[in-house]
Every structure is written in C-alpha cells, then in structure tokens.
Chain A
C-alpha cells in the first residue's frame, strides 16, 4: 500500500515524521470516538437509556470478561465460525479445482453456480430451524452456504487465469494432471484462493452471529438478543463491541495469512469480488 497522497516532490526529511503521524492520528480518532460516546449521553441529546456513556459500556465489558458464560459464548461463536469456514474452504477449493480444470464441467455448472450464489443464505434460516433447531448444525448450514460460494468463485477465477503458455509448456514436458495441478494451476490460483478465504472468513463471522441472533443458537449473538430483551443496554453495546473487535481480528489474521502464503507473489492482484 502506497500512501497515494504523498507528492513525489515532497522533501524526504518531512516524509518520515508524516508517516509516523498516521498511527497517532488513528489513535486520536479512536479516542475521539470514545470521547463523543462518553459526552453525548451526558448532554441529553441522546437518552442514556439508548446510548449509555462509553465508561458504562466499558464497565459492562469488564464484568462480562469475568463471567464464564461470556467465554463459553465466545467459544461457541468461534467454533461455528471456524468449523464452517474450514468446511467451506476445503469443499470450495476441492470443487473449484475439479470443476475449473475440466472445461466441460465448468461449462455445465456455470449457470447453476450463477443462480445459487446470490441466494441469500438467510433464506435458509427457516429450513435450518426446522431441520436442526437451535443447534450448531443450523449455524453451520448458514455459514457454509454463505462462505462456500466466496471460495469456489475465486478458485474458478484463479484457474481461468492460468497462463496458457505455461500450461502448454507443462504439457510438452509431460507433466501429468497431478503435476500440472500442483505446479501450474495451484500457484496461479493461490492468490485468488487467499482472497476467497479472506472474504469467506468475514462472511462466515457475519452468518455465525446472525444464526445465533435470529435462531438462538448458543454464542455471542444469542447473548446480545438476551441482553437486549432484558433491557441490559450497556451489555448490548459491550457485546456489539466484542463482535466488532472479533471482526477486526479476523480481518487482521486473514491478511497476515494471505501475506504469509503469498510472500513469493510480487505482482499486484486484482480482486474478483462478488
């Protein structure tokens, strides 16, 4: 990432402190948010019953951290997220590689994938409730349905990106199907796979929490629903904050994994998002 706004002619002596300023400004921004949240309810502009001061939210969070139920809920959410993500990534990569490397299969399945992909996985909520109740399995159904398409679409895009010359070269050196898959297709597709995994990780978290919130599967989402219906407003905010921090953590980890896996990959990639 290059800071696009830095003018090329700027004196190098000024650039270093400017760059060091960015994280400080970011911290100041966060501090500002906390200050606004603290002051706003006191001014009476917003009722403290709707928006408790930041200090109360932090206190509620502190109490939560001491409770066993919170950690169990966090564990439940992470379990649903992790299992669902793992299933979608394995299934998505496997299906993507098979479909992508056989042209006939790709042609036959294209319309079906295009039809199934945009179906919102929340449409499956009633089905999940009926089949599995408020169980880990209904959470997994929603998570996998949402995350699977993110992965397979990226894998397919990645395989389509394989350089025909490289593929032909591999063929003329008598690399078998497995060899071409391993040494030609996989390295080309990997950046796309990683993008898919990153998108899937975010979507999986959203759907895991949604399943808990709406269906009542155990986890942070359910805790939020309970806190809301019992009128424990600061706790609602504290839990929302926790899910947000979880989302930030998922993003950071996904990016770190991506960078690790692609440390050899120099070029700038174009993301195929959808």
Chain B
C-alpha cells in the first residue's frame, strides 16, 4: 500500500467521526443549556468519574453478570435446541410455546423475576438468561433442522453416530445459525444488563447512570452514556472477532460460492 492509499483509508475511516465530534464540540462549546453541557465538560467528567476504582466497583460487576447470564443462556439454548431440533415430535409440541415465550418483550420479565429472585445478583443474571436464551434456542433449532441430508446420510453410512455425529456434523452445520442467534442475544443481554440495574441495584453501570440523572449530575450522566455506548461497540467488536475465528470456514465457503 502506498502512502496515499493509507491516507485515503484513514480519511474514510476517521473523517466523518472526527467531523461529527468537531461539530458536537463547537456546537456545545459555549452551551449554557443545563441539560446539554459542552463536550469538553463531559470529557472532563469522564476522566473524573470513571476512575479505576469506579470501573472496578461498577463496571466489572455489570460485565460479570452479563457474562454469567449470557454463557448460561448459550449453554441452555444450544443444549435444548439440539434436543428439540433433532426430534420432530418434540419440536411440533413445543413450537407454539417457544414462539410465545420469544415474543414476550424481555424487559417485562424483570418484574416477574423480581417476584421470585428478589433484587440481588441472581435476579439480574436470571433476567439476562431469560432474555438471551430464546434467540439462541430458536436459531439452534432452525440450524439443526437444516442439516444437509446428504451429509447426514454419509455420516450414517460411515457409522458416525452419537456424540461424534453431534460434534462433527450437527453442531458444525448449525453453527452459523447458532452464531446469528448469539449475536441477537448479545444485544438483548446488554439491554437487560442495564435495565435490571435501573430497577433495583446498589452497583452497576445502569444504576450509576440513573443515579447521576436523578441527582442532576448532567455531565457525569452524559459521560456514563458515552461509556455505555463505547462498551456496546467494544462488545460487538469482540463478538465479530470471535465469530470470524470460529466461522472462518463458513465465510470462506460463502465467498467461494459467490465468486466461482
């Protein structure tokens, strides 16, 4: 790559974000509007609020709860999805029930789960599980259903059965669908992480931001919104990175098919 192409790329990548930030900076520079503080004030607050201590006491617990809930949902969703997807009769029995559960907007389960689990960490993890599990479960079912019949027959005639079949054929074939479900689940999980903390909590990102908003610490609140946005972006980046590694074979296959 020549210097010019590198410069061009950098300009394309960073040009608009830089311009938008500049507009934000100058448009609010002398802002006296209480609710829309200058960007400089927000950034200053960001440095002051989100110290290492704060990150440890508020951001880390949130992320741990998200990780716990998300991983449980993946395990439950894929496990149940395999069972339901491979047995047609079970699937026919459960399909309408699952569709109903999936259609319930996950945040309304917060009050219901609070009845059972109080307002501790268990409640928040359960809320995240209850929202994340459906897209993963239903996508796994779809993925397992769509396993190539020829491959299936080939496996069978080679005597590949049981766990080996599950690992090398069924899970493999369903993995693009499973990943799609996991991606949807991740954004739902982030939403639920924040909401469950807004309801009742003593720490966490959502709790802190709402606390700032209620005490009218406006620049601090904006800095929290900024942090939450950045976190969402980073998590999706992380997810894409992991996806590209796990599904490298699939993406390569698709590229090949598209350009023969």
Contacts and interface: CB of A to CB of B under 8 A. Distances in A.
Interface of A: 3-5, 8, 21-22, 25-30, 32-33, 49-51, 107-112, 115, 117-127, 129-131, 205-206, 209-210, 213-214, 221, 224-225, 227-228, 233, 236-237, 239-240, 243-248, 250-251, 271, 273-274
A120 B190 contact: yes
Interface in B211-228: 212-213, 218, 221-222, 224-225, 228
Given A206-B105, A224-B111, A228-B114, A112 B225 contact: no
B213 A131 contact: no
A241 to B, nearest CB: 8
A29 B198 contact: no
Instruction: Classify the interface of chain B: helix, strand, loop or mixed.
Output: helix
Contact of A111 (B16, B107, B224): B16
B236 interface: yes
Interface stretch (B74-82, B89-97, B119-127): B89-97
Nearest to B8: A107
Nearest to B192: A122
A30 B108 contact: no
B12 A50 contact: no
Contacts of B209: 123, 126
B96 A30 contact: yes
15 contacts: A29-B92, A30-B97, A108-B15, A112-B17, A123-B228, A125-B198, A130-B35, A210-B195, A214-B199, A227-B111, A236-B111, A244-B101, A245-B100, A250-B103, A273-B180
B14 interface: yes
Nearest to A272: B180
B12 A210 contact: no
B165 interface: no
Given A29-B95, A273-B180, A213 B194 contact: no
B191 A210 contact: yes
A25 B195 contact: no
B232 A123 contact: yes
A118 B233 contact: yes
B13 interface: yes
Given A26-B95, A120-B194, A221 B108 contact: yes
A217 to B, nearest CB: 13
Given A50-B116, A213-B111, 18 more contacts: A29-B97, A108-B12, A115-B17, A119-B228, A119-B233, A122-B206, A123-B229, A127-B225, A130-B218, A210-B191, A221-B107, A228-B111, A236-B112, A237-B112, A240-B104, A244-B100, A245-B100, A247-B105
A108 B16 contact: yes
Interface string B161-188: 0000000000000000000100110011
A214 B16 contact: no
B109 interface: yes
B260 to A, nearest CB: 15
Contact of A274 (B15, B115, B183): B183
